Structure 1
């Protein structure tokens, strides 16, 4: 039975699941029926953060044009350009055993591609969630449903994994940004130019 988290909650992942080394991070969403504005293309990204809370370069950034970093420590399974259908719309695979020691956090985010040009935002997106699945057993460990609190935001930090001593923990975040991917890159220390 998966644990359902609320915004701001934290949970031990590897300590409470002995032997857990690899997880699938599934993210999903629906577009409101009266959304207008053409097709929606939401994109999942991961920012691998150093001790200062910042990514240092493209080697710390997983997205649809850079699908894997650090020999598969974090890998994107592919871009879903429509979000149609049930279940996960996009997935990342995190192999905690391969995450370098200098990486202390992994931020998991979703942006709307070309949101400004299309007049789109997360106020038009519903049923957003992130779930973490044990890759070895396919058991869902936890789930965080984001709710409907967004309006003009075009990027959201869904959650973060963070290292505590030798263990990894999960934090449900759900913070929105205007300015899309560029705003997230700036937040995490990367130059989006």
Structure 2
């Protein structure tokens, strides 16, 4: 049975699941009634962060245009441009054993594609969640439902896995950003020009 978290809660991932090395992080969402004439495309990304909360190189930003990090430890499983249907809208697979030693945390985000141009924000999104599953058994281990705490934000750091005392833990972050993907990338040390 999955552990259900609230914003800011931290929970152990590998200590309570001995032998866990392959996980899938799934993100899902629904749209509130929306009639803006444009598609509503949320994009999931992972940032492989060093101890200073910055990437060591732009290749440590895994998203629809860079589907895996150089070590092959974090793999984006594809871009869903509509969010339609049940279940996870986008997934990222992580091999915890391959995550480079200089990576202390992997942060997961959801960003609204072209939000400013389309006049879209997370106030128009409902039922957003992140969940962590054992990739070998498909068992859901952790789930964090974001709730309806957002209004004008166009990107959200949903959660993160991080190293702690030789184990991996999960943190339900739920922190919103205005300025979309550019603001998020700048926050994590990626120069978007």
Q: TM-score range by the shorter chain?
A: over 0.9
- What secondary structure sits across from 1:97 in the alignment? helix
Residue aligned with 2:106, SS: strand
Distance 2:137 2:174 in 1: 27
TM-score scaled to structure 2, two decimals? 0.98
Which residue number corresponds to residue 61 of structure 1? Answer: 61
Q: How many residue pairs are counted as aligned between the two chains?
A: 193
Provide, for residues 130-189 of structure 1, a one-character-per-residue CA deviation record: whole Å limited to 9, x for no partner: 000001111000100000010000000000111012110000010000000001011111
In angstroms, what is the RMSD of aligned CA positions?
A: 0.9
The equivalent of 2:173 in structure 1 is 173
Structure 2: gaps (5+ residues): none
Q: Which residue of 1 aligns with 2:70?
A: 70
The whole-number CA distance in structure 2 between the counterparts of 1:96 and 1:159 is: 16
Q: What is the aligned partner in structure 2 of residue 138 from structure 1?
A: 138
String of CA shifts for 1:60-94, please: whole Å, max 9, x gaps. 11000000113320000000000000100000001
Q: State the Cα distance separating 1:36 from its structure 2 match.
A: 2.4
Q: Secondary structure at the match of 2:191?
A: coil
Equivalent pair of 1:159/1:172 in contact (CA under 8 Å):
yes
Retained in 1: the 8 A contact 2:71–2:100? no
Q: Return the TM-score normalized by structure 1.
A: 0.98
Q: Distance in 2 between matches of 1:111 and 1:153?
A: 9
After the TM superposition, which residues 92-131 of structure 1 pair with which residues of structure 2 at under 5 Å, given as runs?
A: 92-131=92-131
